[in-house]
Amino acid sequence: MSRWRRLYPRSVADLPVSSRVGTAALAFVVLSLAVLVLVPVVVQRQTARLRAELDDVADPSRALVTRIQFALAREQSALRGYLISGDPEFLERYREMTAAEQRTYAELEALAYSLEPSVIQRFAELRTLADQWHERVEEVELSPRSTPDDDVVPRTARSGSLFEDVLRATTALDTTIAEVIRKRRGEVRAMERLNVILTAALVGVALLSALVLARFARRIQRLAEAAEARRREAEEALAEVRRSTESRERLLRGITHDVKNPLGAADGYAELLEMGLRGALTPEQAHLVAGVRRSVHSALDIIGDLLDLSRAESGHLSVERAPVVLPEVVREAAEDHRGAAQVAGHTLELRLGDDVPLLYTDAARVRQVLGNLLSNAVKYVPAPGCITVVVRRAEEEEHPGPGKWVAVHVIDDGPGIPPEEQEAVFLELQRGSTASSAGHGLGLAISRRIARLLGGDLSLESEPGAGARFTLWLPLRAEEGEEGPSPA
């Protein structure tokens, strides 16, 4: 059994850890693939936005600046023709080109505010200078006159310097827009390079994650195979233990049957001698025959405990539950041991609670447990000692499980049991170091098994030099096959 407990849980404990790691690796692969899809989409959207800005804003803006330059040149030419010839057609042409220039300004203004602040600033400077030039032309060159002006050069010189400022402003605006276009194209190229780099990196990460996942998958498979092998080994070991237990039980049954018969015969012959069948016995002979019978009964008790312990280990120890008046059962068990207690120099006291309800349990098994406890107390407590049996309802905060419980205490004033030995006394073939009499060490082991088979438990409270208190805990009603709580 210990071999099975050692092999199987360890492989099961290893497997969930690797499974969690493998799941994390799988999640990382999925995340990498998701990023691999999303990042190019985001980069492409950003690239498309920059390209759209170039195609729909920057390039058309430069074309509009060129149209403004062309309109200004034609305006200046028409203005000169009008000033030289006075022909109204030149003036009409000047007016048309001025209107076209203003319309171009309106189109360019809508685009300029979609670009950088430097473009907006240059555009505002151009509009201001162009407006100033047109105002100067209206005030000077186009002022009313009665005859053609022979002084054309001096009149045009008054606005020529301002016109040159307008041309320089258009050139500056065109240069600024060209710089914006160059910058945007650089950003487009950078985004395209970033897209290539990120895609390559994410593909590498995804491949690496896939390799890690494959490695963990192989590891999980190996662990699963190892776990399956250990499970089969554990099942084989458990089957071997069961076969060994069944073999031991069969062996014990055979041996005990073969031993009980001659022991029973020896007890019968001794009883015949006590009865005086072969003549009256002297007091010394009667004492020796009584000792023989006690030894035979002790051997028979040991055989019975061995059989019960073997049945308990194999799951064949049965109980027969029925309504039980517990104080009466306790009283009978105490009376069975009162004579032995008096012979050993002890006093035996009973404290039977009046509020103990009817129990649904096995009276014979309860009497067996109490018999073992009282027998131990009689044997191990130095004379003169006091043994007290108490029956009471258990308080809610002290009983070992849910529901209503009854406690049966067997209390003695013996040497006590050290704390480090208190659990060991419930093991097979174990006796406390303070025991002064011989014992086979099976009574407490089988008693705890019976108590738990009844749905209860058997506990011990003791301190060296302060006696011991064994407590049989019994539920008011336990279901068939229910086992009591295991010790913490």
CB neighbours of 143 closer than 8 A, spacing ≥ 6? none
What residues contact 465, with CB distance under 8 A and at least 6 apart?
415, 416
Token pair in block for residue 200: 């390559």
d(CA 328, CA 332): 6
State the amino acid at position 118 in one-letter form: S
Amino acid identity at 114: S
Query: Is-contact 177 183, C-beta < 8 A?
Result: no
In which element (H, E) is residue 386 found? strand 386-393
**pLDDT, position 26:** 65
What is the pTM (predicted TM-score) of this model? 0.46
Whole-angstrom Cα distance, residue 305 to residue 222?
A: 47
pLDDT given at position 306? 62
| Cβ(100)–Cβ(72) below 8 Å | no
Domain chopping of the chain, boundaries: 2-221, 320-475
* Residue 193 buriedness (CB in 10 A; 0-12 / 13-18 / 19+): exposed
Helices 2-53, 152-274: crossing angle, 10 deg rounding: 170
Q: What was the pLDDT predicted at 479?
A: 52
Report the C-alpha gap between 5 and 139 in whole angstroms.
110
Q: What is the DSSP string of 192-257?
A: HHHHHHHHHHHHHHHHHHHHHHHHHHHHHHHHHHHHHHHHHHHHHHHHHHHHHHHHHHHHHHHHHH
Nearest to 138 by CA among 182, 106, 91, 100: 91
- Rounded-to-integer distance, Cα 198 and Cα 35, Å: 10
- CA pair distance 174, 289, nearest whole angstrom: 135
The token duo for 450 is 């019976």
Q: How far apart are CA 457 and CA 455, in angstroms?
A: 7
- Residue 331's pLDDT is what? 92
Cα separation, 474 vs 327, whole angstroms: 13
Contact between 414 and 382 under an 8 Å Cβ cutoff? The reply is: yes
> Tell me, what's the pLDDT at 257?
57
pLDDT on residue 119: 86
- Contact indicator for 401, 369 with CB cutoff of 8 Å: no
Residue 117: asked if its preceding bond is cis (omega within 30°), the reply is no
Q: Which helix (H) or strand (E) holds 179?
A: helix 152-274
Q: Which CATH architecture has domain 320-475?
A: 2-Layer Sandwich (3.30)
Encode the chain (488 residues) as per-residue pLDDT tens digits: 444 344 444 444 444 555 565 566 667 667 766 776 777 777 777 777 777 766 777 788 888 889 998 988 898 888 888 888 888 898 899 899 999 989 998 888 888 787 888 888 988 998 899 888 888 888 877 766 534 444 545 555 556 788 888 889 899 988 988 888 888 788 878 877 887 887 787 777 767 777 777 787 788 888 888 989 989 888 888 888 777 766 666 666 666 656 667 777 777 777 777 777 777 878 887 777 777 876 776 666 666 666 666 665 656 677 888 999 999 999 999 998 888 889 889 999 999 888 888 888 999 999 989 998 998 888 888 888 899 999 998 887 776 777 889 999 999 998 888 888 888 888 765 555 555 444 556 778 888 888 888 889 999 998 888 889 999 999 987 654 445 454 43
Which pLDDT score, from 0 to 100, does residue 329 have?
92
